[in-house]
Amino acid sequence: MRQAGRVVAEMHEVCAAAAVPGATTADLDRVAREVLEKRGARSNFLGYHGFPAVVCTSPNEVIVHGIPGDRVLSEGDIISIDCGAIIDGWHADAALTVPVGDIDELSRRLIDVTSASLDAAIDKVHADARLGDLGAACEAVVHAAGFSVVREYVGHGIGTAMHEDPEVPNYGRAGRGMRLRDGMVLAIEPMVNAGEAATRVLDDGWTVVTVDGSRSAHFEHSVAITEHGPEILTVP
């Protein structure tokens, strides 16, 4: 899973570099495919319930599951890039949101707060912690900033499949929920809206957007629970 995680981190790196004004979301999928090929990894996104790409590209008001295509990125956009990889049957999954050129102050803050909310959840990861500890920590950071946590989509366990039990909500109550154990791996993935939390799926059956049109950001890491604390697998 560490090897798969490193591939995902490299996919993020090339996608972030390709997210410039004038690029299309399909360009991001193309550079991500090159990394999978170069590293001998398979995609866990391509073909997942028929998903047609190796990355989800979710600009601005798109929360998650955007399909790469001919949408052109403009200066001032933000874009969430979510992708995964499989090495020898083991999965990794991670996401990040990056600016396209110069972005406004609200978008900058949305990205920073979402990233900080993931860090806050990861800080709670240790054997004997409860799932609710993670969600509560994440939610506290988001609410303090005046933003909303998406509730309909959550994180998950990950291993020999991309989506395993348990569900990992980005909200909750400390001290509640399943107890964590050494050896578990969780994909923790807060999705944060600048406006209201409500979500809607477009007619393509995939693209999830904010109902109020506000911008949304998404950060995710696959995190192992070890006797030494959390180990983030989806890093270079």
Contact 6, 81 (CB under 8 A): no
Minimum CB distance to Mg ion, residue 162 (Å): 7
Contact (Cβ atoms closer than 8 angstroms) between residue 149 and residue 139? yes
* In the complex, least distance from residue 102 CB atom to Mg ion, rounded to whole angstroms: 27
Q: Which tokens belong to 57?
A: 């590209």
Among 41, 95, 131, 142, contact with Mg ion (rule: CB under 5 A) = 95
Give me the sign of the Cα torsion angle 176, 177, 183, 187: negative
Is residue 93 at the binding interface for Mg ion, with CB under 5 A as the rule? yes
The one among 41, 96, 168, 187 contacting Mg ion by CB under 5 A: 187
Enclosing H/E stretch for 98: strand 90-99
Indicate the SS3 state at residue 7.
helix
* Position 10 contacts Mg ion (CB under 5 A): no
Asked if 82 interacts with Mg ion (CB under 5 A), we say: yes
Interaction residues for Mg ion, span 205-234 (CB under 5 A): 220
10 Å CB burial of residue 113 (0-12, 13-18, 19+) is buried
Q: How far is the CB of 215 from Mg ion (least distance, A)?
A: 19
The region of 19-27, 32-40, 82-90, 195-203 touching Mg ion under the rule CB under 5 A is 82-90
Residues that bind Mg ion (CB under 5 A): 82, 93, 95, 187, 189, 220
